[in-house]
A = this chain, B = another copy of it.
Amino acid sequence: MGPGPSDVPQRILEAMARPTIGHLDPAFSTMMEETKALLRYAFQTENKLTFPVSGPGSVGMEMCFVNLVEPGDKVIVCVNGVFGGRMVENVKRTGGIAVVVEDAWGTPADPAKVAAAFAANPDAKLLAFVHAETSTGAQSDAAALAAVAGRHGALTIMDCVTSLAGTPVLVDEWGIDAAYSGSQKCLSCTPGIAPVTFGERAVAKVRARKTPVQSWFMDLNLVLGYWSGEGKRTYHHTAPINPLYGLHEALRMLAEEGLEAAWARHRAMHEKLRDGLETLGLGFVVAEAARLPQLNSVYIPAGVDDGAARSRLINEFNLEIGAGLGALSGKIWRIGLMGYSARQGNVDYCLKAVKAVVG
């Protein structure tokens, strides 16, 4: 019950153990097409270019930046935790100019500050922000942020690694141009696959680039030939067949439950956990309005040793929860209720275990 990977249901583990077939086998193509359709449902988008990247979420992130940022492009980046900082690093390494909009860790990105940054930088071509900061448990108002970018004709890149399937991610309604996620959070698949989606404006920007994409592996122009589904698939790389079996199964389970039901389940489990943790005297890091139900950041009570308590949780209760990162290291715990982990039994067990180590 850390900040991911979440528990993986047996059904997904079994799917991953199916016999490996060739990545150019017609049966694999059929599964790929289904996976893409299911991902469009998860992202709530009609984007044709929606597919699973053969790599961790960090590769999904880098794929967005290396394709959409050209050397010299100015990019406004919201930083309110670890992963916003990583976006800045990505902008720099693609030769872009990062304009950082900072908010305190544990708070959401502020649309008013973003509007001010656009006013000061009218030549900014992109806005990048993290919808759900895995390092703090804070959720930003993606619709409001994307609207600011839209008013300035800028494209948006959104990190929804921790939000996808846990809280609403409405790519088309919000007007997001590129988004990336991970397989191991609220989808409850094993880590290693990054769902991504790119809208038409993003694809047009990639096609109009004056410089080649610096990464061969992540170049959308090449990946398009493999994933686009337009005519004959061109060999690009050998896809991770078995992890993709797992993702396909995870997405089928999500469709069976329904997105709205999944969001409601995460919310309901969070409320039970929250009530229990508050009864134990643990306070939340993030204000209620911006709190991610799937990632509960709480302050470690005074007098409780972080390392010792988490060791006891692992050794005595076989329970992993997340430590704080960066400035919050040693100060907070991050308790995940993601995907399959967001269920009553987990909430009860976690409360029992936490009570034992803080009691």
Mark A residues whose CB is within 8 Å of B: 2, 4-5, 7-8, 13-14, 16-26, 54-59, 62, 66, 86, 89-90, 92-94, 182, 184, 190-192, 212-217, 235-243, 246, 314, 320, 325
Question: Nearest Cβ distance between residue A346 and chain B, in whole angstroms?
Answer: 14
A190 touches B240 (CB 8 A): yes
B191 touches A238 (CB 8 A): yes
Chain B hits for A238, CB < 8 A: 4-5, 56-57, 182, 184, 191-192
B57 touches A237 (CB 8 A): yes
Chain B hits for A92, CB < 8 A: 212
B23 touches A18 (CB 8 A): no
Asked, given contacts A56-B240, A216-B86, whether A325 binds B93 with beta carbons under 8 Å apart, the answer is no
Chain B hits for A58, CB < 8 A: 216-217, 236-237
Besides A8-B19, A17-B17, A56-B217, 4 other A-B contacts (C-beta < 8 A): A2-B22, A94-B214, A191-B241, A192-B241
Chain B hits for A212, CB < 8 A: 92-93
Complex Cα gap A4–B66 (Å): 29
Chain B hits for A24, CB < 8 A: 2, 320
Which interface residue of A23, A86, A191, A314 has the most chain B CB atoms within 10 A? A191
> What are 27 residue pairs bridging A and B, where the CB atoms are less than 8 Å apart in the complex?
A5-B21, A13-B18, A13-B242, A14-B17, A20-B190, A20-B191, A21-B320, A22-B320, A24-B320, A54-B192, A55-B55, A55-B59, A58-B217, A62-B215, A86-B216, A89-B216, A90-B216, A92-B212, A94-B214, A190-B240, A190-B241, A190-B243, A191-B239, A192-B192, A192-B238, A192-B242, A215-B215
Asked, given contacts A58-B237, A190-B243, whether A16 binds B19 with beta carbons under 8 Å apart, the answer is no
Complex Cα gap A236–B62 (Å): 13
Which interface residue of A66, A217, A241 has the most chain B CB atoms within 10 A? A217
Chain B hits for A55, CB < 8 A: 54-56, 59, 217
Interchain CB contact (< 8 A) of A240 among B191, B213, B239: B191
Which interface residue of A55, A66, A214, A236 has the most chain B CB atoms within 10 A? A55
